[in-house]
Structure 1
Amino acid sequence: EAKTASAARRLREVAPDVRVMEIAERLTDANAHDLLAGWDAVVDGTDTFETRYLVADTCAALGTPLVWGSVLRFDAQVSVFWSRPPDGVAPVTLRDLFPAAPPPGSVPSCADAGVLGALCGIAGSMMAVETVKLIAGFGDVLLGRVAVVDALTMRVHDVAFAGTSAAPGTPSTASRPAEPAANPPATDLLGRTLLDVREPAEFAVDALSGAVNVPVSALEQAARTGPGAAAALLLEAGVPDGVPLATYCAAGVRAVRAARALAELDHDVAALTPDDVARMRART
Structure 2
Amino acid sequence: MLTSFNIGKVPINLRGQAGCEIVGRPGSGKSVLATFLMLKSMQLGAFPVLCDTKRSDFYNLGKLLDKRVGSNKKVASRVAATPDQVAGLLRTLVNLMNNRYEANNEFGKDWVDFNLRPIVLILDEYSATIAEAESSKKGKTAKEIENYMKQLVFKSRQMGGIFTVLCSQRLNSNVLDVNVSAEFSTRVAMENLDNVSLRLAFPQCDIDQLPYIDNTAGHGLIYSDSFDENNPIPFIAPDLSQVNVPKVASLLDSRNRVNSFRKEDYWPF
TM-score w.r.t. length of structure 1:
0.25
Q: Which has the larger radius of gyration?
A: 1
Which protein, 1 or 2, shows the higher relative CO under an 8 Å CA cutoff with sep ≥ 6?
2
